[in-house]
Homo-oligomer: A and B are copies of this chain.
Amino acid sequence: MSQTQDLLIEIGTEELPPKALLKLSQAFHQGVEQGLKNAELSFDALRAYATPRRLALVISKLQTQQDDLTVERRGPAVTAAFDEDGNPTKALQGFARSCGVDVDDLETMQTEKGAWLIFRQQQKGAETATLLPDIIQQSLNALPIPKRMRWGDLPGEFVRPVHWLVVLLGDDIVPVELLGVSADRFTVGHRFHHPQPIRISTPMTYAPQLETEGHVMVDYEARKQAIHGQVNELAASLGGDAVINPELLEEVTGLVEWPVALAGNFDQRFLELPPEALISSMEGHQKYFAVRAKNGDLLPHFITICNIASQDPAQVIAGNERVILPRLSDAAFFWETDRKSPLAARQEQLKTIVFQNKLGTVYDKSQRVAALAAIIAQQMGSEAQLAERAALLAKCDLVTEMVGEFPELQGIMGRYYAQLDGEPTDVAEALDEQYRPRFAGDELPQTATGIAVSLAEKLDTIVGLFGIGQPPSGVKDPFALRRAALGVLRIIIERQLSLDLFELISEAVNNFVDILTEDDVRTQVMQYFYDRLRGYVIDQGAKADEYESVLAVSPTQPLDFMQRLNAVAEFRKLEQAESLAAGNKRIGNILRKNEAEQEGLVVEPGLLVEPAEKALAEQVVEAQQALKPLYAASDYAGILNYLAGMRETIDAFFEQVMVMSDDEAVRNNRLALLNQTRALFLGVADISCLQE
């Protein structure tokens, strides 16, 4: 049982970037954890702490020394180690030298293959304290820091200037010097509440001391929960519910060491603005939380988190109310100005915004999207003009003041302005819906028009960028084509649209006149969709081989693809599935070997010899008849169910019939029979892809 001690590491810095804080903390955590594992130092638990001014780790029951270990190096065989006079050979001497010992220090080891000389050495485990400096330094170097800072004439660089360093193993300081600061046992409390140093006697008292003495809630998660609870509490006291944007919550948690929520008010009249605009002003500029009434309307209040328990909250609140006023007034001004000219009037302006230098301006894009949206709307059986109109207006809000200030409001403001312009409701809605889904799990467009524009918008972007040879690569996906493609698939599938993706792609391609440089853009893009679809269906619980079996017959309607996929999943549950999959594999191989997979080979009843092949031939004919209506209804499950009934006949065929007969006529006839059999299954999917 090896000795253990608790370990504390704290790095005190100038204010860290709030949005990056959690990532930094987690990376530091993982870095040190990995470092300890690599050094084979065991420990009980590791807790990470993070505030704007510090990153810390407390590791309980850390092994204070590595285990000793024996290293063995195998030398020459005894036979090769000594000459006939029994003197060490060059080989042996060389080996001994390489081990830094005399020949006599080597031992011999008996193996079934004979005796060998080996060098055994007890390697003493190193003291943890001596290993820590490297481990810490390594994990600091590995932190995901956009740009590191070097300051003064200090060695080393970090995301922010480092002011103090605490490293305690048990009750003792570990002599480490990092980033020009050497370790001690003194941390620092809250900037205002307790600027004095705090002496930490032992790692376990670190967090509690900082909390009770230092007024620093050093546990990130606890601080976040405190803010969450305080904001909810205040909102409730105001008779409403807080609007808690998760990103804002994280950011605020990264801004304070001791959170104190305070509420404030703003002038009722601002409530005439769209709530999204108010929320953007409050969150974006001031990091305030908005408050909703039970009916969902905004209330004229906000909640702020300050980093200090003020003696005079009233004054702080007054200050907060003062600073938000101009922000809201700006928003109100934008709202006024934007409404002076209708969206439609802004189309010309779109010519001034480049969408992508090869793909032209946003105006050009709108034109293309309008054309494509119209086609989609038609195919969906909804009004093409509405879709076209929506598409033409879709980007106009980009040139409004409000969206200029708050880009995240694109589409949303479009909706409001379109409504005020008296555009049809569907058109207005579509302007917002075009961007959906905005993120994984986001709502899909509701209205037919919204769907058409959203699909067209995304398809145009995808096709365009593939067309100019700029598909997304690994992490590089500036136009978020991955998300767009997934969005297209989700909309078509979950809204149950029988649209043909390949056809839409082709339409989109046609809209780019003399622009696209790549050939076979269609297939490239289609392939890209198939890859996204693969991920999508596997998330839904489908098996990879099921996906492959359907992909093999490459249906271009996503909805149809899903129906086949479900049929295959059902089919696989049948007891006949396994041997039919095997049978299909076998047939496939035979046909491939004999390049007989081309259509149109006819079966000559007269050439059928064996009973088993006659039986199969009959069943095939029956099946072809029986399945017609099922195909018509694309009842894939029904089809596979029916084909399952052919299992015995097919098995019997392979047991009793030798396909490769010497008589060529007979042989080709049998190949034809197999070809037709296989065709029956391929009408749904290539079930030979199914693994047991």
Contacts and interface: CB of A to CB of B under 8 A. Distances in A.
A449 to B, nearest CB: 37
Contacts of A233: 198-201, 209, 213
Nearest to A237: B199
A225 B8 CA distance: 14
Interface string A173-216: 00000000000000000000000001111101111110111000
A229 B211 contact: no
A217 interface: yes
Contacts of A207: 222, 225
Interface string A208-238: 1101110001000011011011101100110
Nearest to A205: B229
A499 interface: no
A184 to B, nearest CB: 13
- One complex includes copies of this chain to the number of 2
A289 interface: no
Contacts of A205: 225-226, 228-229, 232
A259 interface: yes
Given A212-B260, A217-B212, A201 B228 contact: yes
Given A199-B237, A237-B199, A208 B232 contact: no
A208 B236 contact: no
A258 interface: yes
Contacts of A212: 217, 223, 226, 230, 258-260
Q: Which of A204, A208, A217, A236 is packed against the most chain B CB atoms within 10 Å?
A: A208
A230 B230 CA distance: 28
Nearest to A186: B233
A312 to B, nearest CB: 15
Contacts of A199: 232-233, 236-237
Contact of A202 (B208, B211, B229): B229
A237 B259 CA distance: 30
B201 A213 contact: no
Interface of A: 198-202, 204-209, 211-213, 217, 222-223, 225-226, 228-230, 232-233, 236-237, 258-260
Given A206-B229, A209-B226, 10 more contacts: A198-B233, A201-B229, A201-B233, A205-B229, A205-B232, A208-B223, A209-B230, A212-B217, A213-B226, A213-B260
23 contacts: A199-B232, A199-B236, A199-B237, A200-B233, A201-B228, A201-B229, A201-B232, A201-B236, A202-B228, A202-B229, A202-B232, A204-B228, A207-B222, A208-B217, A208-B223, A209-B225, A209-B230, A211-B226, A212-B217, A212-B260, A213-B226, A213-B233, A213-B260
